[in-house]
Structure 1
Amino acid sequence: MTYTIVGKEVKNIGYGLMSLNLPRENPISLEDKFTMIKAALDSGANLLNGGEFYGTSLQDNSLTLLKQYFEKYPEDANKVVIGIKGGLRLQPMTVDNSPEYTRQSIENCLSLIGDKGKIDMWEMGRRTTQDEYLLSLRVIDSYVQQGKIGGVTLTEVNAKTIRQAAKIVKVVGVEIEVSLFHTDPLHNGICEACAELDIPIFAYSPLGRGFLTGKMQKPEDLYKLFRQLPRFQGENFDANFKLVEKVKEWAAKKGCTPAQFSINWLLALSKRPGMPKIIPIPGAASLERIRENLHQVELTDEDMDEVDAFLKEFSVSGARFYEEQTQWLDSNDTTEVTI
């Protein structure tokens, strides 16, 4: 299945670039990164999701990786739809939604991606509680009107912000966490607002930071950046692992892997009445995982009903983020923003 985003066709599963630039004991070589991007594109995942802050610095990130990739494979530049997050300061990491910094961040992104790449979508990485967030949407939109970027997207926002933003600019996508491990957007009005406004959702962490692959038996098995998150600590890990065991069971019935079941659950969810388009954007740092994640499995109504019944009784233990990061989660904020 394909969708049209900013006038371009994209497949119904994308590819997240964050994992390629995460700090590792054994860093992924540039050539291997190219091989994985190429494999994703060859398998149909032409929606690429990256960030100005996905890397070692604001000058070494998804954009510089894509610039280098397109220098080697210029024929791929017109095949992709690229979404970029910016608007965060590093060392220490903090959110800056001011119009001045938004403009600075966009200019940096445009300069880093080079002449061959095109930023199709750009969004502020988080939303502060100040009115400047909505003011900065107009800054982003000014770059759309100039033809420098393709469209405005949002991330980690609640339904109220989505509706407010849509009155100010044309919102072409909303990037939020949605998965079997995080179903809040199905119940808090986010999916409802996106469906009503015909805004697609780009579902990041569709595998719960690797948890839903079924390969993580203890917190230490997770990538070090994730294992300290509250929901992977102590008793929370054990309580949440009940979901993983159930996903393994469902996957076995379908003859697929837990990762494939989890991603295809989102695709099936997208087909339900009243739901928006949902495009999972799983990341992966190996060819095997990329190909696994892009394999599609048809889930029946009976399969979905069985999942519904379990999720109705299951509650995730522990928060998604560290306590100090929750101040930037718009879903926790009910402040009315005006402009």
Structure 2
Amino acid sequence: MHTIELGDGLTASALGYGAMGLAEVYGPAQEDESLATLHHAVDVGVTFLDTADVYGGGSNERLLARLLADRRDEVTLATKFGITTADGDLSTMATRGDAAYVRLACDASLARLGTDVIDLYYLHRRDVRVPVEETVAAMAELVRAGKVRHLGLSEVTATELRQASAVHPIAAVQSEWSLWSRDVERAVVPAAAELGVGFVPYSPLGRGFLTGTLDRAAVAGDWRAGLSRFSGSAFDRNQAVVEGVRGVAAEVGATPAQVALAWLRIRGGQLGLPVVPIPGTRRAARVDENVASLEVRLEPAQLELLDELAGAVVGPRSDHSDPNWVSATRE
């Protein structure tokens, strides 16, 4: 697989892998199966792996440590800090970004991951009580100490990105971006392009919705069932959007997921910045399907239709009670 340079000299595989789904957020997961999927991803060139300290209360990082024990030199490792919980209870999620916590969180992640350096260390969510410059200055100390190679920010506004970049180079912004979540295109993406910062879209398949494989029963047992886009009449209306994506997929001999990922790759080029999506899956076959998206080509008329479909999505992209949880509410 070819590689892409994000920002600050950080190189990553053209497609990444988001490991959050291996932490049982979508129902029970088998650790050995998850580990096999991770190994398969690296085998086929998906070497940009993304996790976070909050996933599974640290268990996700410990799972990746089993892979890294044998294949650390093959992997570009990204993890995140800044979301706290009370004893792993996700309903109690809050943010923390003070300098002391930055250092503690990094050391804890290094220990769980079983490595001495993190390639890309993200602020997972902005702690609005702490100036972003203070948090990034503490992260920069980690670079100078050799514990971290590059810095990233997740769900920041364009203004916050500029403020952070004045303190230390930022390699990547990670925020939700897909055919059904495009608010970052208004300000954050243009700022990243201006500053030479790469973009790492999370949930590039709309938490699985854009794969065209979900029905109400498939999400009934996990947290997605409570999201506005997966509930009530919104579910049916958004399924109509997916049917439109399915139609484009049929025209190009691809799957809906491959079209959604190809659209992101093309859209990044249109907006002038490198984009490395990080779809997640528990199955090796889905990894192969996602990798094949790199070969999908879309015609202008198809891109125009996909733009129209994106405008028909119903429901907010975030249902979190904290209004600061995503960048769009702070822009």
TM over 0.5: yes
Over the matched positions of the two proteins, sequence identity in percent amounts to: 28
CA distance in 2 between partners of 1:51 and 1:131 (Å)? 21
Shift of 1:309: 4.2
- What stretches of structure 1 of length at least 5 have no aligned partner? 335-339
**CA, structure 1 residues 220+35, in 2 after alignment: closer, same or farther (shift >3 Å)?**
closer
What TM-score, normalized by structure 1, do the two folds share?
0.89
Could you report, residue by residue, the CA deviation over 1:230-287 in whole angstroms, capped at 9, with x for unpaired residues? 1211121122222111111110111111011101111111222x42111110000111
What TM-score, normalized by structure 2, do the two folds share?
0.91
CA distance in 2 between partners of 1:179 and 1:80 (Å)? 25
Counterparts of residues 158-197 of structure 1 (less than 5 Å) = 158-186=157-185, 188-197=186-195
Runs of 4+ that moved beyond 4 A: 5-8, 23-26
Contact 1:8 1:81 in 2 (8 A): no
CA distance in 1 between partners of 2:10 and 2:179 (Å)? 29
Query: Number of matched residues?
Result: 322
Shift of 1:310: 4.0
Contact 1:129 1:333 in 2 (8 A): no
Partner in structure 2 of residue 18 of structure 1: 20
Q: Which moved more, 1:126-135 or 1:203-212?
A: 126-135
**CA, structure 1 residues 288+216, in 2 after alignment: closer, same or farther (shift >3 Å)?**
same
**CA, structure 1 residues 26+175, in 2 after alignment: closer, same or farther (shift >3 Å)?**
closer
CA distance in 1 between partners of 2:222 and 2:236 (Å)? 18
Superposed CA RMSD: 1.9
- Residue 275 (structure 1) aligned with residue 272 (structure 2): yes
Amino acid at match of 2:20: M
Partner in structure 1 of residue 89 of structure 2: none
- Residue 288 (structure 1) aligned with residue 285 (structure 2): yes
Partner in structure 2 of residue 42 of structure 1: 43
Partner in structure 2 of residue 127 of structure 1: 126
Shift of 1:184: 1.2
Contact 1:216 1:222 in 2 (8 A): no
Q: Secondary structure at the match of 1:90?
A: strand
CA distance in 2 between partners of 1:9 and 1:95 (Å)? 29
Of 12, 28, 31, the match for 2:30: 28
Amino acid at match of 1:194: A
Shift of 1:144: 0.6
Counterparts of residues 68-79 of structure 1 (less than 5 Å) = 68-71=66-69, 73=70, 76-79=71-74
Shift of 1:288: 1.5
Shift of 1:7: 4.5
Amino acid at match of 1:257: T
Contact 2:9 2:171 in 1 (8 A): no
Could you report, residue by residue, the CA deviation over 1:304-335 in whole angstroms, capped at 9, with x for unpaired residues? 23323444xx342212222414332232115x
Partner in structure 2 of residue 2 of structure 1: 3
**CA, structure 1 residues 12+306, in 2 after alignment: closer, same or farther (shift >3 Å)?**
same
Q: Secondary structure at the match of 2:324?
A: helix
Shift of 1:300: 2.9
Counterparts of residues 238-317 of structure 1 (less than 5 Å) = 238-272=236-270, 274-295=271-292, 296=294, 297-311=296-310, 314-317=311-314
- What stretches of structure 2 of length at least 5 have no aligned partner? 87-91
CA distance in 1 between partners of 2:327 and 2:183 (Å)? 13
**CA, structure 1 residues 123+242, in 2 after alignment: closer, same or farther (shift >3 Å)?**
same
**CA, structure 1 residues 184+319, in 2 after alignment: closer, same or farther (shift >3 Å)?**
same
Shift of 1:172: 0.5
